[in-house]
Amino acid sequence: MQKLNVILPLQNMSNIVAIVGRPNVGKSTLFNRLTETREAIVDSVSGVTRDRHYGKAEWQNIPFSLIDTGGYIYGSDDTFETEIRKQVKVAIEESDALIFVVDVNEGVTDFDSEVANIIRKSGKKTILVANKADTHARSHFAADFYKLGLGEVYAISAVNGLGTGEMLDALTAMLPNKIEEIEEINIPKIAIVGRPNVGKSSLTNALLNEHRTIVTEIAGTTRDTIHTRYNKFNYDFWLIDTAGLRKKAKVHEDLEFYSTLRTIKAIEESDVCVLMIDASQGVEAQDLNILSIIEENRKGVIIAVNKWDLIEKQTNTAKQFEEELKQRLAPFKDIPILFISVLEKQRLLKVVEMAIQVYDRKTAHISTSELNDFLLPVIEVTPPPMVKGKEVRIKYVSQVKGDAIFIFYCNLPQYVSESYKRFLENRIRENYNFSGVPIVISIRKK
């Protein structure tokens, strides 16, 4: 087959930008400002608030993913500098660009110089941000940071937004165009994701090695993401593999931060994610964080509970486990759950079957007439609550083609509450099968 260079949609090929710097320079404040800016522009999935260190940002119609590295540093003050050095090196290796934040009030510290030296030697695209320049007088102090040798210094205030526009102009100008060399064929892309040591590599190997009829293997835009063509048992899809692709010479970096970056890459390039969890450990915070990233990127998802052979079972063990699991997943509970054992090769092909079913649901389109025939009578019986004595009237609904985004047109969109949006989503889920697919409810002016 002939390979063609195809520019994929930006939402599938987002750049990753990591915010680095020493503690207390305002990394998290800047992260919050940039991610909240996007939320004001683009409809978000309700309830995605679990992970405070990953977000989607957008500037001048250019989206990118943002990582706040400060959220991944643990330990006492004595270990901070060591951990930051590790994270800067990981961010250099795994991200497309860096935002290096310093404190304009404290001037250049020895540690700032050391971090700058690491970045400078790497050649990684970097925006140097002198934060806390809340006044015109303070912004003059930013000139001191030119000695770091990282080019232009952007004096900003993350608290009030001063100077962030110019900084974002420069950042988005340096982000690379995401071009991936793939065969021009429209088949699903499925990623296997999860915490370290839950069995991702074993599942990948079981699927590819035992039932392997590979048309071609091609590296994607990132060194650590490989798309492998799987064509067997009437299934045809790209399997996105990030597990065990490269042995690290020195595995000293923060494991959660490193695995999060690789997971984000896989999620953003996929259509459907297989989220693997360890049955013997149950659901942990990092599992929920990964799920929130899947939701925010509006990817389909199934959950594969691995190592089920190690669990002592009674009559209702699986049912009870599933009920407890869905309580932890709330509010997005409509997710297919499979209990598997990669070691015993139990229900592995079922994982593929269910992932393809989710892909089909995700790409299904309900006609506008059918949607309105179903939903408008529901809305008439249970209309949005009145606000300030004003009646909210929804007159029309449509679905964005190829995505589970439903747009409701009404007279006063600002008065439609999140609880009523959940009511609409629940009615849609009750009437149509969107299991494993995040639904976005968008309310717009008629």
- pLDDT by position in tens, the chain (length 446): 333 333 333 334 578 898 988 888 988 889 989 987 543 333 334 333 334 477 888 898 888 988 887 655 544 455 556 766 777 777 777 788 999 999 999 999 988 998 899 899 888 899 999 999 988 878 889 999 999 999 999 999 999 999 999 999 999 999 977 655 444 567 899 999 988 888 887 888 888 874 333 333 443 333 345 677 788 888 889 888 665 333 334 334 445 566 677 788 889 889 999 999 999 888 888 888 889 889 989 999 999 999 998 888 777 888 888 988 988 888 888 999 999 999 888 999 999 999 999 999 999 999 999 999 999 999 999 999 999 899 999 999 999 988 999 999 999 999 999 999 999 999 999 999 999 999 999 999 97
Q: Are strands 394-399 and 405-410 parallel, antiparallel or unpaired?
A: antiparallel
Residue at token pair 């004096």: 155
Query: Measured between alpha carbons, how far is 273 from 355 in angstroms, rounded to an integer?
Result: 8
**54-59, strands of its sheet edge to edge:** 54-59, 62-68, 15-20, 97-103, 126-131, 153-155
Specify the pLDDT at position 10.
34
Specify the pLDDT at position 178.
60
425 alpha-carbon distance from chain centroid: 21
Whether the pTM exceeds 0.85: the reply is no
User: Which regions of the chain carry the CATH code 3.40.50.300?
Assistant: 13-174, 182-363
Specify the pLDDT at position 38.
44
Query: Measured between alpha carbons, how far is 405 from 45 in angstroms, rounded to an integer?
Result: 10
Query: Measured between alpha carbons, how far is 441 from 407 in angstroms, rounded to an integer?
Result: 6
Q: Catalogue the long-range contacts made by 326-335 (C-beta closer than 8 Å, 24 or more residues apart).
A: 328/283, 328/288, 329/283, 329/288, 329/291, 330/47, 331/46, 331/47, 331/422, 332/45, 332/47, 332/291, 332/295, 332/438, 334/429, 334/434, 334/435, 334/436, 335/301, 335/302, 335/303, 335/435, 335/436
User: Which regions of the chain carry the CATH code 3.30.300.20?
Assistant: 368-445
Specify the pLDDT at position 126.
95
Reported as a single tens digit per residue, the pLDDT across 110-131 is 889 988 998 998 888 999 999 9
CATH superfamily of 368-445: K homology (KH) domain (3.30.300.20)
| Cα angle for residues 137, 143, 144 (degrees, 5° grid) | 110
CATH architecture of 13-174: 3-Layer(aba) Sandwich (3.40)
Specify the pLDDT at position 381.
96
CATH superfamily of 182-363: P-loop containing nucleotide triphosphate hydrolases (3.40.50.300)
